[in-house]
Each structure stands twice: as structure tokens, then as C-alpha cells.
């Protein structure tokens, strides 16, 4: 929910204000409005805020504002629970940092080659964003020095502790200067977070906003589904009734994800699957293609609950209720982001878990019975977008504007035919309308981009 508070009221440089306004930060979200006065003043901060509330900018604006750009040393460390979240935080920080040249932001995550990270660190950076395990490994092997770090951010701290990173976090902090600013962001605030905050922070300010999902923002519904066949029918009925362009279905296990994907594909529903069996390159591709809306359904375990940063997911389905109640909040928080409305439907085959969810989320919902009506055999969940893979990315200096230019000026697509573009380190995914996808691919393979030919094909 936006407020009337604007960035012009903050003590920021004109260049930063101009950049923030150009990328959509003319007004502040609640978490930004409440936290920035403290963080810009150098205070430690504990912020309780759900994903999608604008928290990356809440700490990003503050850490960039105090950055000494001329000092080419690591000054800020941001720790995240997952590689996906680290990549998204780094991407958002790069947008915020466009007010100045040569701000280097490096990601350090497990699942990625180690030696190239060491090489990159040898050339220094201003900001590191990473997962605790990989950051600690680099510190222990002296890949970089922590002596100039004056800002530490723990993003989604509750998830990091849930994943067993408590010891790693404390060990990392032992490497850092004691005289620093620490910001802790968490969707929930259990006892282990309180204990962590007490041990690493100095007189922190505490802010809290929108930590529960309001009924008018997310419509939450619970349906009885006592068997696998009940659940499959319910999922198909929900897809037919809502016809979402973007839907996430959460299962508790990898096996359930794979089996549901097979069932939906047999019913002509195009799906993507995301769980811990996938390599990082595959995970990046899955998230890029899903965010491009070229596949309408993503089936995932909770490994993805905190890694999705997509503003317009219309429908979340809990195929299984989670065993960890905090994951219920994180799952349904994939919809109704940035003040939009959304719908979260849970299929209930365990009354005990349902009661725990009601108590945890302070709900008065009852379990409903879905009316069994014949499914439409002609139903197709057809995306209007297709994703094209291009074998060039940030490492080859390929920018989104270069791709758009070739597609529109050289190949002849209309601007409306080109959708979201995700530029990764070594490749790029661009969404185009289904009816021009073949033309776009053929054109990309026969036209140079920035004076070079690259390979392109449909995903």
C-alpha cells in the first residue's frame, strides 16, 4: 500500500532521487516510509515485513546512500536464505544504484562455480549479496577482506534460521567490524530471531507493517480434498474457473510436484516444476520463463516460496497445507504483491494442519465443499507469450534495449509484441507474443545484435 510520503522528503542526493523517481519509487511503501528515517540516520533496525512490501528498497536506499563509491572496497554485506532471493536482491540493488557509475555488486551463492567468484573478488566490489554458506567459505579462505564493511543486512532472517544457518551467520559476524550498522528484515519474529537480534545489534529501532495478509487483499479459501483424485479435480476446476495467466501450486514434496505435473500435462495444462533436484542453471531458466508468463503454472516446493519476485501472480494453490505454519504466510504472499489483490486456495486433507493454519493466520474460515461439476474437456490454459532463449547475457554486455531494438527496428515486431526480458550472466530470455514467436526467432538468428550473431530458439 503506497502512502503520501515521497522520496523527496528524505535526505538523498538529487541524483539518487532522480533515479528513484525514474524507476517507480516516487512514493514510498509503508516499510520504506517507516524504516528509512532510522536507517538513513545510521541506526540498527529490526523490520517485520512480508515479502512484496518493498523491503529491498527499504534497506537498499539506505546502504547506497552511505556508500563511499570512490573507496573500491567491500562496504556492505547482504545475507539471503536462497540463491533466487540473492539474485533478485542484487538485481534490484543494481537498479537503485544507477544514479552513480561504477558501483559494483557481486553475488556469492552456493551452487555456482567457486573459482570464478574468487577471481571476481580479486577485482574488489562495493556490495556483496550472498547466501551464508558460500559467503563464510570465502571469508574463511580469505577471498575478500571484511575490514571496510560498515553495513550488514539480514534479509528474511527467519528463513535463514529455519534453514539451519544460525551458526554460519554468527561465524560471519565474527569476521565483521563491531562498529557497523545492522539491519534485520523478517516476515515473522519468533524467539530465535529475538535472540539473534539481541546478540548482534545495538539499540535497534523496531518497525512493523502489514505482517498479516488482510482478507480484502488476499481472498483465502479452503476446500476439502481427501484423495489424490479429489485434489487433481480441485486443481483443474480452479484453473478453469479462474483462468490465471500466472499460478503457483505448492506441494510439500518433490514427488508430489512431479506427479501433479504429469497429471496436469495429461490434461493439456502447460506447467513448470521447481524443487531442490534442479541445478542452479535450470532453476534460473524456470524462474525466468515463468516470470515471462510463457508458462501459466509453476508447481513448487517451499524452496521457491521465498525466491519468487513476480508482482502479478493471480492465484496460489496449496495442494498440500505446509507443516511449518510460517510457510503458509510465505506461500500466499506470492500473490497480492505491491498492494494488488489475489487469491489463495488451500486443499485440506488434514484437519489438524487446517486448525493450526487458522490459529496461526488468525482466520475464521471454514472448510468448504467444492461442487463437483463436469470439467470442460475443451479447456486449454493457453499463454499468450512464448520465451526465446538467446545465448548471450550480461557477460557479453547484452542489454535488454539491444534485444528490443533488433526485434522492433530490424525484425519488424511491434513494441506490444515484446514482453518481459530477463538478462542473466550468460543468456537472455525474452517474451514475445505467441503469434510472432517464429518470426522473432528466425529474425534473431539472421540479424546481428551489437555487431554479432547469437543463437536463439524457443523454450
Domain locations along the chain: 2-209, 218-361, 385-458
Q: Please report which confidence band the pLDDT of residue 4 belongs to, taking 50, 70 and 90 as the band edges.
A: very low
Rounded Cα distance between 177 and 266, Å, is 57
CATH no. of 385-458? 3.30.70.330
CA distance 406 to 452: 12
Residue 289: φ, ψ to 5°? -70, -40
2-209 and 385-458, same CATH topology: no
Residue written as cell 554468527?
A: 170
Q: For position 316, what pLDDT does the model report?
A: 95
∠ at Cα 84 (393, 149), nearest 5°? Answer: 90
| pLDDT of res. 3 | 41
Mean pLDDT of the residues in the chain: 90
> Which residues on adjacent β-strands are paired with residue 452?
449
**151 C-beta neighbours (distance < 10 Å), count:** 22
| CA dihedral sign, ordered 96, 102, 103, 104 | positive
Tens of pLDDT, residue by residue over 395-423, are 898 999 999 999 999 999 999 999 999 98
Assign 85 a pLDDT band (cuts: 50, 70, 90): confident
At 229, phi and psi to the nearest 5? -65, -40
Q: Give the N- to C-terminal CA distance of the chain in Å, as an integer.
A: 36
The CATH number given to 218-361 is 3.40.50.300
pLDDT at 330 (0 to 100):
80
pLDDT at 279 over 70: yes
Model pLDDT, residue 104: 96
DSSP three-state, residue 344: strand
Asked if residues 362 and 432 have their Cβ atoms less than 8 Å apart, the reply is no
Read off the pLDDT of each residue in 409-438 and give the average, rounded to a whole number.
93
d(CA 349, CA 7): 48
pTM of the model: 0.66
442 vs 1: which has the higher pLDDT: 442
> CA nearest 85: which of 155, 157, 132?
155
Q: What residues are paired with 76 via a beta bridge?
A: 127, 151
Q: What one-character-per-residue DSSP string does 142-177 give? A: TSS--TT--EEEEETHHHHHHTT-HHHHHHHHHHS-
Average pLDDT over residues 63-77: 95
Measured distance CA(32)–CA(34) in Å, rounded:
6
Which residues does 367 contact at the CB level (< 8 Å), separation at least 6?
222, 223, 224, 348, 351, 354
**CA proximity to 308, closest of 81, 85, 57, 49:** 85
Q: What is the pLDDT of residue 8?
A: 80
Bridge partners for 49 per DSSP: 209
Q: Which CATH number fits domain 2-209: 3.40.50.300, 3.40.50.720, 3.30.470.30, 3.40.50.2300?
A: 3.40.50.300
pLDDT band at 361 (very low <50, low <70, confident <90, very high): confident
Amino acid at each position: 500500500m503506497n502512502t503520501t510520503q515521497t522520496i523527496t522528503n528524505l535526505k538523498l542526493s538529487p541524483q539518487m532521487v532522480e533515479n528513484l523517481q525514474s524507476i517507480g519509487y516516487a512514493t514510498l511503501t509503508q516499510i520504506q516510509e517507516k524504516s528509512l528515517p532510522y536507517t538513513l540516520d545510521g541506526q540498527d533496525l529490526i523490520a517485520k515485513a512480508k515479502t512484496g512490501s518493498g523491503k529491498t528498497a527499504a534497506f537498499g536506499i539506505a546502504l547506497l546512500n552511505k556508500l563511499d563509491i570512490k573507496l573500491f572496497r567491500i562496504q556492505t554485506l547482504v545475507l539471503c536464505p536462497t540463491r533466487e532471493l540473492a539474485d533478485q536482491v542484487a538485481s534490484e540493488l543494481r537498479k537503485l544504484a544507477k544514479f552513480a557509475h561504477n558501483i559494483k555488486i557481486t553475488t556469492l551463492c552456493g551452487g555456482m562455480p567457486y573459482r570464478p567468484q574468487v577471481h571476481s573478488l580479486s577485482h574488489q566490489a562495493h556490495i556483496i549479496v550472498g547466501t551464508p554458506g558460500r559467503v563464510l567459505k570465502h571469508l574463511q579462505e580469505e577471498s575478500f577482506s571484511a575490514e571496510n564493511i560498515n553495513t550488514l543486512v539480514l534479509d528474511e532472517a527467519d528463513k535463514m534460521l529455519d534453514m539451519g544457518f544460525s551458526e554460519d551467520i554468527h561465524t560471519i559476524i565474527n569476521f565483521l567490524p563491531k562498529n557497523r550498522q545492522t539491519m534485520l528484515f523478517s516476515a515473522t519474529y519468533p524467539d530465535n530471531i529475538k535472540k539473534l537480534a539481541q546478540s548482534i545489534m545495538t539499540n535497534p529501532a523496531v518497525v512493523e507493517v502489514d505482517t498479516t495478509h488482510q482478507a480484502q487483499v488476499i481472498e483465502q479459501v479452503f476446500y476439502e480434498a481427501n484423495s489424490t483424485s479429489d485434489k487433481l479435480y480441485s486443481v483443474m476446476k480452479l484453473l478453469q474457473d479462474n483462468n490465471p495467466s500466472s499460478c503457483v501450486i505448492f506441494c510439500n514434496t518433490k514427488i508430489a510436484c512431479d506427479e501433479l505435473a504429469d497429471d496436469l500435462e495429461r490434461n493439456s495444462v502447460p506447467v513448470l516444476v521447481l524443487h531442490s533436484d534442479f541445478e542452479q542453471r535450470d532453476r534460473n531458466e524456470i524462474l525466468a520463463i515463468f516470470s515471462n508468463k510463457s508458462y501459466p503454472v509453476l508447481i513448487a516446493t517451499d524452496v521457491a516460496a521465498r525466491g519468487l519476485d513476480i508482482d502479478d501472480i493471480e492465484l496460489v494453490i496449496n495442494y498440500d497445507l505446509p507443516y511449518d505454519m510460517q510457510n503458509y504466510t510465505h506461500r500466499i504472499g506470492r500473490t497480492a504483491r505491491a498492494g494488488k489483490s489475489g487469491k489463495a486456495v488451500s486443499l485440506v486433507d488434514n484437519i489438524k494442519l487446517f486448525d493450526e493454519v487458522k490459529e496461526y493466520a488468525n482466520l475464521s474460515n471454514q472448510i468448504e465443499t467444492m461442487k463437483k461439476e463436469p470439467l470442460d474437456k475443451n479447456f486449454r490454459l493457453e499463454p499468450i507469450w512464448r520465451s526465446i532463449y538467446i545465448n548471450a547475457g550480461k557477460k557479453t554486455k547484452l542489454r535488454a534495449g539491444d534485444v528490443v531494438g533488433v526485434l522492433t527496428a530490424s525484425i519488424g515486431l511491434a513494441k506490444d509484441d515484446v514482453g518481459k526480458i530477463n538478462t542473466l550472466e550468460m543468456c537472455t530470455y525474452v517474451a514475445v507474443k505467441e503469434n510472432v514467436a517464429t518470426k522473432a526467432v528466425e529474425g534473431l538468428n539472421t540479424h546481428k545484435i551489437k555487431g554479432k550473431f547469437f543463437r536463439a530458439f524457443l523454450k
